[in-house]
Amino acid sequence: MSDTRRRALVTGGSSGIGACVAQTLARDGCDVGIVHVDTPERVSSVIQSVESHGARAWSRVCDVADAGQVHEAVEAFIGEFGGVDILVNNAGIFCDRVIWKMSDEDWRRVIDVDLTGAFNCSRAVAPAMRRARWGAIVNVSSINALRGKFGQTNYCAAKAGAIGFTLALARELARENVTVNAVAPGLIQTPATEGLPDEVRRRALGEILMGRIGRPEDVAETVAFLCSERARFITGEVIRVDGGQCL
């Protein structure tokens, strides 16, 4: 990072990829806030890890699908840290069903969290970033947004929408020196994927050219790069982090 200590806000930052992103940004010199809907115990461990790097840590319960909650959380974060330089839109859920069994709620909730959540959070931080004329937004998409996946019409639609959102927002914010990029992970070892049936995991592993399931660190290091001074001339990009799974 630069000599200036950046202020990063990570959604879904209490576990999995989000927790690893928070810890990696702290390692790289950022003060870090996380918004989450998790248990206090899980959040506490992430906060401790962030602080172990000498960074300030902050957390708040917030449903990113609720614009009012997001506005209040971002205002509180800015009030605590004096601004916001980095936003990582990582919060996401999935509810897999074939379309003829998918309920309205199955569809709506995934779209609301995975896509509208990124919109709510980006809209909330954009004014502060534009005023500061510095910012980095990274949206966590998925390789399934690029190829589709049986039983995931809701998830694939949301994550594909996140890519279109990334490209448009990159155009809107570039003049203010705010970069907007996306990462598209493949199968990553997280609490969300630990419950996958063995056959599903074996099939996915067979697709990965590098022969292993990804680690949260694989994604977090890419996100940290996109948030750093080293990536200031990169915007509107979608980087697959999948070990060749989508080739």
| Active site residues per annotation | 155
Residues 218, 245: Cα–Cα separation, whole Å: 14
* Distance separating alpha carbons of residues 107 and 95, to the nearest angstrom: 8
Three-state secondary-structure class, residue 149: coil
Residues 6+ apart with CB under 8 A from 232: 177, 179
Distance of CA 134 to the CA centre of its chain: 19
Say how far apart CA 181 and CA 3 lie, in whole Å: 23
Tokens of 67: 């614009």
Cα 1 from Cα 9, distance rounded (Å): 15
Characterize the bridge pairing of strands 86-89 and 7-11: parallel
Amino acid 73 reads A
- Going by the DSSP 8-state scheme, the letter that residue 134 receives in this structure is -
